[in-house]
Amino acid sequence: MLEFEIVKNEKHSKARLGRLKLARGVLDTPVFMPVGTTGCVKTLYHETVRNIGYQLILANTYHLHLQPGEEVLDSFGGIHNFSSWDRNILTDSGGFQVFSLSNLRKIKDEGVTFHSHIDGSIHKFTPESVVRTQGIIGSNIAMCLDVCSDPKVTRKDAVRHMEVTHDWASRSLAELGKLRNDGGKAPDNLFGIIQGAFCEDLRKQSAEYISSLPFDGIAIGGLSVGESHEDFIRYLSYTVNYVDNSRPLYVMGIGSPLYMLKAVENGIDMFDCVQPTRVARHGLLYTKDGVMNITKAKYRNDTHPISDGCSCTLCRNYSRGYLRHLFKAGETFAGTLASEHNLTFFYDFMRNVRESIEQDRFLEFEREFLDNFRTSPL
Amino acid sequence: MLEFEIVKNEKHSKARLGRLKLARGVLDTPVFMPVGTTGCVKTLYHETVRNIGYQLILANTYHLHLQPGEEVLDSFGGIHNFSSWDRNILTDSGGFQVFSLSNLRKIKDEGVTFHSHIDGSIHKFTPESVVRTQGIIGSNIAMCLDVCSDPKVTRKDAVRHMEVTHDWASRSLAELGKLRNDGGKAPDNLFGIIQGAFCEDLRKQSAEYISSLPFDGIAIGGLSVGESHEDFIRYLSYTVNYVDNSRPLYVMGIGSPLYMLKAVENGIDMFDCVQPTRVARHGLLYTKDGVMNITKAKYRNDTHPISDGCSCTLCRNYSRGYLRHLFKAGETFAGTLASEHNLTFFYDFMRNVRESIEQDRFLEFEREFLDNFRTSPL
């Protein structure tokens, strides 16, 4: 079982501080995880990611299965050896990518068949195969295969998706046990995933069922899939009422300050998102005042750094005007500088969140931050 | 006048060691200069370039004129402030880019009119404007505007190109003098450029004429423009006979080990080329055994570094198999790692060249290197 200690519960909300002990380092929660699809956060040296302070990144089982594939990963002895990232790696199960990237998704009881988004070839994931693959990857935290529903799903399909997710959850645990008994390659930890779309009764049922199984942690899936901001908050805060919160709680795929704050407020400990690095490559920079589009003409002659007091390479050495120039000139290095900045912003942001919990002033921090951070909910 | 000291002449060739004192650091020659078109070597942090050992990079007047333009550069107080590269910068004059990138090149006595390769807009360079622009850039070594000839040029055009180049050379010096007298922004140093296409008498005439003018250094232009390898060596070794070699000698746009060795053998002190960084972004890695195409299937499971003993981040931390994977997955970071490697290879290569000159065994080094380095002349 995963070592997870709840260090403090905040007085005025469900927010909490935790400590998560993983094989490659101890983490303070709430924690944000950058996405490094293939064991590498896009455009950045590992050293840069580590120096910011990140101890845990997320890699994608779906992508790693397609490229380089299990055979190569196995021959290298897993992703840490393969990618040379020496800290922790959480792998998602591929359930979400099958939902979002593939133009085919055929769900049967046995597993899911899908098209590769790279070459259209046909692949199949089963809950068992996905646990085995994450074992080969050498994942420090693996996720169960689940079925993610569209926000516009019918109730009938939502029920079916939840039931399949539950069946796969118990089969995932069985496969993990089998691997461990047989001395096979098993991931260090396995998290279950709650589904249930946007139906309160299903959410409750799923939260209770997943909590009843001996997972190392629990993820709330099927959120941030295109629903309204109000629905995200409503179904998140509803669902957490029925979750065993002695274990680490994880909301997958969220990466806007607003969503992260709402998640922390509801006792969530972990998040991941491609957002800060993806938008960085398009010239969008996070600051305490909102998201800055550096490609705008008004920054042409601007000699200031992006953010005063930010410790990233960009803010220490480069002006807004030069970063704008690099984007206009199509230099991919612009994306490197911007990615380092946004990940530094997110790291500092989470540190401030933790500090405010420590001081029992999380709600005040949240209000102040959101008042300042004027932007569409990026 | 530029401080340039010839430290040693090799016993068995024209190869020599020199020391070049520039405003932002002293350089040992022969030296290779990476290209950083807009003040930034593509995909790399300045720190990475400096840590390899580079003290001088080349930026392009043509590109900087088009983007961000003189007004922005001036408002930042030049390229060093703008880009935050704190070592030396040599700027080419744009003559070569007008020749190679623009689909219009209208040469008149006054100057050259050309189309921007970005948006097709019409621009004009004169020898005077180009010196002024390089002054605004704050170039540590500026180059004269010249007219580069196609290898298949008629003799009549070759004569005309040379004559215009000569006229522009003296006008460039006059403009520099005027800027200095008037307290305007002037580049630190100005190099003249020899033309004369592939005609021995013109090459001799141009070498003597450019040598007769008080330039800080002399470049041999119009080579490596598509001529055969034999012609490159023939016209280079012919031209250097008529050059004042007490000044630093520069061959522009060469960056293959073979060409660089032949240039060193003929007493050349400086080279630049986009080659090592451009090919890096396509998965081509320099090693002492030749150029390795890392995207080939045979590297799929290869756990070795690119080169044993190489000090770059790639060779210290990553395997061939992982680099191949990054290229196959379309990660631009693959180009970052490969660029750092190739620039490290070129830096180490030039250090070995200098060491062999020091030991009077340059020709032996050249033979051994080329015997080992089996490849098409990349």
CB contacts of A329 in chain B (<8 Å) are 37-38, 63, 67
Asked, for residue B358, whether it belongs to a domain, the answer is: yes
State whether B298 and B259 are in the same domain: no
Domain that holds residue A206: 3-273
Cβ within 8 Å, pair B38-A67: no
d(CA B207, CA B198): 13
Would you write out chain B's pLDDT as a tens digit for each of its 378 residues?
Answer: 689 999 999 999 999 999 999 999 999 999 999 999 989 999 999 999 999 999 999 999 999 999 999 999 999 999 999 999 999 999 999 888 887 777 777 889 999 999 888 888 999 999 999 999 999 999 999 999 999 888 899 999 999 999 999 999 999 999 999 999 999 999 999 999 999 999 999 999 999 999 999 999 999 999 998 899 999 999 999 999 999 999 999 999 998 999 999 999 999 999 999 999 999 999 999 999 999 999 999 999 999 999 999 999 999 999 999 999 999 999 999 999 999 999 999 999 999 999 999 999 999 999 999 999 976 544
d(CA B70, nearest CA chain A) in Å: 12
CB-nearest partner of B325 from A38, A45, A332? A38
Asked, for residue A294, whether it belongs to a domain, the answer is: yes
d(CA A130, CA A145): 7
The per-residue pLDDT for A377 is 44
For B302, name the nearest residue in chain A, comparing CA atoms only.
A76
Asked, for residue A74, whether it belongs to a domain, the answer is: yes
- In sequence order, the β-bridge partners of residue B9 are B16
Residues whose CB falls within 8 Å of the CB of residue B189, separated by 6 or more in sequence, listed in order = B2, B22, B140, B141, B142, B216, B217
d(CA A253, nearest CA chain B) in Å: 21
Asked, for residue A312, whether it belongs to a domain, the answer is: yes
State whether B26 and B161 are in the same domain: yes
d(CA A37, CA A8): 32
State whether A108 and A231 are in the same domain: yes
Cβ within 8 Å, pair B67-A328: yes
Determine the distance from the C-alpha atom of residue B87 to the mean position of all C-alpha atoms in its chain, rounded to a whole number: 16
**Residue A45: pLDDT over 90:** yes
State whether B247 and B362 are in the same domain: no
State whether B232 and B313 are in the same domain: no
State whether B182 and B217 are in the same domain: yes
Residue A371 is among the residues annotated as catalytic for this protein = no
State both tokens at A7: 């260090």
The verdict on whether omega for the bond into residue B68 sits within 30 degrees of 0, i.e. cis, is: yes
d(CA B284, nearest CA chain A) in Å: 18
CB-nearest partner of A332 from B43, B313, B319? B43
Residues whose CB falls within 8 Å of the CB of residue A273, separated by 6 or more in sequence, listed in order = A32, A35, A253, A254, A255, A256
State whether B322 and B236 are in the same domain: no
Task: Count Cβ atoms below 10 Å from residue B120 Cβ, excluding itself.
Answer: 10
- Among A45, A294, A340, the residue to mutate for chain B (most B Cβ within 10 A): A45
State whether A309 and A257 are in the same domain: no
Please report, as a single letter, which amino acid is at residue B254: I
CB-nearest partner of B329 from A67, A300, A319? A67
The verdict on whether omega for the bond into residue A68 sits within 30 degrees of 0, i.e. cis, is: yes
CB-nearest partner of B75 from A45, A46, A301? A301
Closest by Cα among A254, A295, A249 to A274 = A254
Residues whose CB falls within 8 Å of the CB of residue A230, separated by 6 or more in sequence, listed in order = none
Q: What is the pLDDT of residues A212-248, one digit of tens each?
A: 999 999 999 999 988 999 999 999 999 999 999 999 9
State whether B167 and B253 are in the same domain: yes
Asked, for residue B378, whether it belongs to a domain, the answer is: no
Tell me which of B255, B273, B291 is where a domain ends: B273
d(CA B106, nearest CA chain A) in Å: 25
For B299, name the nearest residue in chain A, comparing CA atoms only.
A72
For A320, name the nearest residue in chain B, comparing CA atoms only.
B82
d(CA A193, nearest CA chain B) in Å: 28
Asked, for residue A377, whether it belongs to a domain, the answer is: no
DSSP string for B175-216: HHHHHHHTT----S-EEEEE--TT-HHHHHHHHHHHHHS--S
State whether B299 and B151 are in the same domain: no
- Tell me the pairing of strands B290-293 and B284-287: antiparallel
d(CA A270, CA A29): 7
Tell me which of B273, B299, B320 is where a domain ends: B273
The CATH number assigned to the domain holding B107 equals: 3.20.20.105
Asked, for residue B376, whether it belongs to a domain, the answer is: no
The structural domain count of chain A equals 2
Asked, for residue B375, whether it belongs to a domain, the answer is: no
State whether A263 and A360 are in the same domain: no
State whether B172 and B63 are in the same domain: yes
Tell me which of A238, A273, A308 is where a domain ends: A273
Catalytic residue selected from A92, A146, A188, A348: A92
How high is the ipTM of this complex?
A: 0.92
Residue B272 is among the residues annotated as catalytic for this protein = yes
d(CA B225, CA B279): 18
Does pTM top 0.90 for this prediction? Answer: yes
Cβ within 8 Å, pair B332-A76: no
Q: What is the pLDDT of residues A150-165, one digit of tens each?
A: 889 999 999 999 999 9
For B329, name the nearest residue in chain A, comparing CA atoms only.
A67
d(CA B131, CA B141): 11
- Among B35, B37, B40, the residue to mutate for chain A (most A Cβ within 10 A): B40
Residues whose CB falls within 8 Å of the CB of residue B317, separated by 6 or more in sequence, listed in order = A46, A84
